[in-house]
């Protein structure tokens, strides 16, 4: 191991130890996760998944009401493809560390907020997850449902639809131009205002209003810890930055797994 690698490992160890102390001293904790933690399970980000046949389409065509209405079959099949990708992977050590910490944290509140739609947090055992951008594996109606619209009895197809009025089933995710679910966002904002520590994991901090939660917590004088393999747009708001992947950092910081995991200096690749 080179002197540079040794220095990087030491820096990781020191930052994770400092983060562990802050978490241990905190009462009301919020965790905000982004695409980086899912990428460590092998799930490509939305744009990275557009390879092969799907590379010729714009993201806006695959994630907007306009795109869906223009070509519902194509968009539905794209989401079926993404569901297949998610079904092939498992939650990682970072997901499991968060789930274990949620169960063990009895001294205050713990709120897990995610920008991810893959459902891996729940599969890992996290009970209460605020999904800001919805869930890839659940469905809703494209138009306001009528009395005849029942998801359990939707007519099969690409996409499924109401056999009476023709209303289309859609993925229950937030598309471009749509507002985040009010109750979920409101709960996340209230938790961010009340927390004394926020742990931001695997997000570039470029998508709002999700990224604004970390800034809100900082304004309310909460400690902000960022765990990411590369710089993010929220680094200036951080009290501590842990430059490591979630699978290494979270078991260490949260004390939910082995604290002797291999430490590696990671490249500056945005998550």
For residue 72, give the CATH number of its domain: 3.30.1600.10
Q: What is the pLDDT of residues 104-125, one digit of tens each?
A: 999 899 999 999 999 999 999 9
pLDDT grade for 9, boundaries at 50, 70 and 90:
low
Q: Tell me: pLDDT of 262 over 70.
A: no
Q: Are residues 227 and 197 in the same domain?
A: yes
Residue 58 pLDDT: 83
Q: Are residues 159 and 211 in the same domain?
A: no
Residue 66 pLDDT: 95
For the chain, where are the alpha helices, taking DSSP H only? 3-25, 35-39, 59-62, 65-70, 72-87, 93-104, 120-124, 182-194, 212-219, 246-254
Q: Are residues 162 and 101 in the same domain?
A: no
Catalytic residue among 133, 150, 153, 161: 133
Q: Are residues 101 and 163 in the same domain?
A: no
User: Tokens for 42?
Assistant: 């092998």
Q: What is the pLDDT of residues 126-155, one digit of tens each?
A: 999 999 999 999 999 999 999 999 999 999
**120, 155, 173 - which closes a domain:** 173
Residue 12 pLDDT: 85
Residue 255 pLDDT: 87
Q: Tell me: pLDDT of 54 over 70.
A: no
Question: Angle at which helices 3-25 and 246-254 pack, to 10 degrees?
Answer: 40
Q: Are residues 144 and 66 in the same domain?
A: yes
Q: Tell me: pLDDT of 98 over 60.
A: yes
Residue 68 pLDDT: 96
pLDDT over 90, % of the chain: 80
Domain around 112? 1-42+91-133+180-271
Specify the number of domains making up the chain.
Answer: 2
Catalytic-residue membership of 133: yes
Q: Are residues 167 and 263 in the same domain?
A: no
Q: CB-based contacts of 256: which residues, under 8 Å, 6+ apart?
A: 96, 97, 98, 100, 101, 104, 250
Predicted structure pTM score: 0.88
Q: Are residues 147 and 267 in the same domain?
A: no
Q: What is the pLDDT of residues 181-200, one digit of tens each?
A: 999 999 999 999 999 999 99
């Amino acid at each position: 191991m080179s002197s540079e690698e040794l220095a990087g490992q030491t820096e990781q160890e020191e930052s994770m130890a400092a983060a562990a102390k802050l978490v241990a001293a905190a009462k009301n904790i919020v965790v905000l996760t982004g695409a980086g933690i899912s990428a460590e399970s092998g799930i490509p980000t939305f744009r990275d998944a557009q390879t092969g046949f799907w590379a010729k389409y714009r993201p806006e065509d695959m994630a907007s009401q306009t795109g869906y209405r223009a070509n519902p079959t194509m968009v539905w099949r794209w989401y079926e493809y993404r569901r297949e990708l998610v079904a092939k992977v498992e939650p990682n050590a970072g997901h499991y560390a968060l789930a274990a910490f949620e169960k063990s944290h009895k001294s205050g509140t713990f709120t897990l907020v995610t920008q991810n739609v893959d459902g891996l947090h729940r599969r890992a055992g996290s009970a209460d997850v605020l999904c800001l951008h919805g869930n890839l594996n659940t469905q809703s109606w494209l138009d306001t449902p009528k009395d005849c619209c029942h998801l359990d009895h939707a007519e099969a197809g690409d996409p499924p639809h109401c056999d009476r009025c023709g209303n289309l089933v859609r993925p229950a995710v937030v598309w471009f131009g749509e507002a985040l679910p009010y109750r979920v966002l409101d709960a996340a904002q209230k938790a961010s205002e009340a927390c004394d520590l926020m742990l931001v994991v695997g997000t570039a901090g470029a998508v709002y209003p999700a990224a604004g939660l970390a800034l809100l917590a900082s304004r309310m004088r909460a400690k902000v810890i960022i765990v990411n393999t590369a710089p993010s747009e929220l680094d200036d708001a951080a009290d501590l930055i842990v430059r490591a992947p979630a699978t290494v950092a979270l078991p260490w910081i949260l004390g939910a797994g082995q604290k002797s995991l291999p430490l590696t200096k990671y490249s500056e690749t945005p998550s």
